[in-house]
Amino acid sequence: MKVLVPVKRVVDYNVKVRVKSDQTGVDIANVKMSMNPFDEIAVEEAVRLKEKGFATEIIAISCGVAQCQETLRTAMAIGADRGILVETAEELQPLAVAKLLKALADKEQPGLIILGKQAIDDDCNQTGQMLAALTDWPQATFASKVEVVDGRVQVTREVDGGLETLSLQMPAVITTDLRLNEPRYVTLPNIMKAKKKQLDVFKPEDLGVDVAPRIKTLKVCEPPKRSAGIKVADVAALVDKLKNEAKVI
């Protein structure tokens, strides 16, 4: 069984992001980039499925600029067998990414597609669901446990009321949550091996996909700075300030 794992190159989660002076977006010049943490969890889960004997090949996929090859090499150092880069300088929105992944799924015929539930840069939480709709495959989002049982995949997912367990017929789409696993530390020997693994590069037009943006970002602003808190003498003063200054009651 093949497993496709889409991975996204994002600003490292330890970096404090800054908005460009012209408010057209986030400044990523000379900023450390890394793999989206949720996608790292997805790669780890795919590798664990392979170690248990359920998966035969893990294919990491990234869509974006040429530097996404670094993200793919990281995925291959964790344990992916090969990588595919869909190279484009266009701003990719969730629907465009889902269409690219659908085209690659038709080409590779995987049994599972495992991806992070959302990216930490745009926080859209849409790509997995759109991909499941386009492929017409069953989906399980926010997975906290994944098992293959009797040719089906059982996914325990986190919902508002607790946990829900689904049994899906494969092929299927799974999006990962934080509590699914803890990704392994990438060792230097595996980084060196990853440099020799196969990495194929396509353009969106090679896959017959139009990735032109459908949504236009008008302005990006930093959130307003929070004012310092104050101490009040008693409950009456608190109620007065909530009513007359904050106007929340």
Average pLDDT over residues 61-66: 94
> Residue 246 — very low, low, confident or very high, per pLDDT cuts 50/70/90?
confident
Mean pLDDT of the chain: 92
| Domains and their CATH numbers in the chain | 2-244 (3.40.50.620)
- pLDDT for 77: 95
> Residue 10 — very low, low, confident or very high, per pLDDT cuts 50/70/90?
very high
Give the residue among 63, 73, 119, 137 at the shortest CA–CA distance from 96: 63
- pLDDT for 104: 95
* Whole-number percent of the chain with pLDDT over 90: 70
Q: Where do we find the tokens 């949550």?
A: 177
- Res. 229: pLDDT tops 90: no
- pLDDT for 52: 93
Q: How do residues 75-127 score in pLDDT, each as one tens digit?
A: 999 999 999 999 998 889 999 999 999 999 999 999 999 999 999 988 899 99
Q: How do residues 127-167 score in pLDDT, each as one tens digit?
A: 999 999 999 999 999 999 999 988 899 999 988 888 999 99
- Res. 226: pLDDT tops 90: no
Q: Kind of pairing, strands 57-64 and 2-6?
A: parallel
What is the distance between the alpha carbons of residues 157 and 130, in angstroms, rounded to a whole number?
Answer: 18
Phi and psi angles of residue 58, each rounded to the nearest 5 degrees, phi first: -115, 125
Instruction: Please write down the HEC assignment for all residues of the chain.
Output: CEEEEECCEEECCCCCCCECCCCCCECCCCCCEEECHHHHHHHHHHHHHHHCCCCCEEEEEEEECCCHHHHHHHHHHHCCCEEEEEECCCCCCHHHHHHHHHHHHHHHCCCEEEEECCCCCCCCCCHHHHHHHHHCCCEEEEEEEEEEECCEEEEEEEECCEEEEEEEECCEEEEECHHHCCCCCCCHHHHHHHCCCCEEEECHHHHCCCCCCCCCCCCCCCCCCCCCCCCCCCHHHHHHHHHHCCCCC
- pLDDT for 182: 93
> Residue 30 — very low, low, confident or very high, per pLDDT cuts 50/70/90?
confident
- pLDDT for 8: 95
> Residue 228 — very low, low, confident or very high, per pLDDT cuts 50/70/90?
confident
